[in-house]
């Protein structure tokens, strides 16, 4: 199984600013994903981070709000831009190896 780390583990940000979340995997993976999990809720896929090309976004998520970088097969970043209180959530990085999918510990974002 892959070991995934995320930075920061939590942050409190002001409205209108941005937060960049880093995801590091201990092995090369083809498929990397970013999810959002609002308190007490299920997981919602934001986008699939593709190495060497633009990310693929799910309905309701746009690149201007959630820009993603994937410079290599072990690293990705998600930026949450122009923060509002509605962005307060847990953001999870995930990787997949064939069928099995693994998650990082998450980044808890609070917007004030």
Partner 1 sequence: QQQVKQSPQSLIVQKGGIPIINCAYENTAFDYFPWYQQFPGKGPALLIAIRPDVSEKKEGRFTISFNKSAKQFSLHIMDSQPGDSATYFCAASRSGGFKTIFGAGTRLFVKA
Does 99 contact partner 1 by CB under 8 A? Answer: yes
Does 101 contact partner 1 by CB under 8 A? Answer: yes
**Minimum CB separation from partner 1 for residue 93, in Å?**
8
Q: Which is nearer to partner 1, 74 or 94 (CB)?
A: 94
DSSP-based three-state secondary structure for 85: helix
Strand 43-49 with 4-7, pairing = unpaired
Strand 19-25 with 75-80, pairing = antiparallel
Instruction: Tell me which of 19, 55, 106, 111 binds partner 1, using CB under 8 A.
Output: 106
Does 92 contact partner 1 by CB under 8 A? Answer: yes
């Amino acid at each position: 199984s892959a070991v995934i780390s995320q930075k920061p583990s939590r942050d409190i940000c002001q409205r209108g600013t941005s937060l960049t979340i880093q995801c590091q995997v201990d092995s090369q993976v083809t498929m990397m994903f970013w999810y959002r999990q609002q308190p007490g809720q299920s997981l919602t896929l934001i986008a699939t981070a593709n190495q060497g090309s633009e990310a693929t976004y799910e309905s309701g998520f746009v690149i201007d709000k959630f820009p993603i970088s994937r410079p290599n097969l072990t690293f990705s970043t998600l930026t949450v831009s122009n923060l509002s209180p509605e962005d307060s959530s847990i953001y999870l990085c995930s990787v997949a190896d064939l069928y099995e999918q693994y998650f990082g510990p998450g980044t808890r974002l609070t917007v004030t």
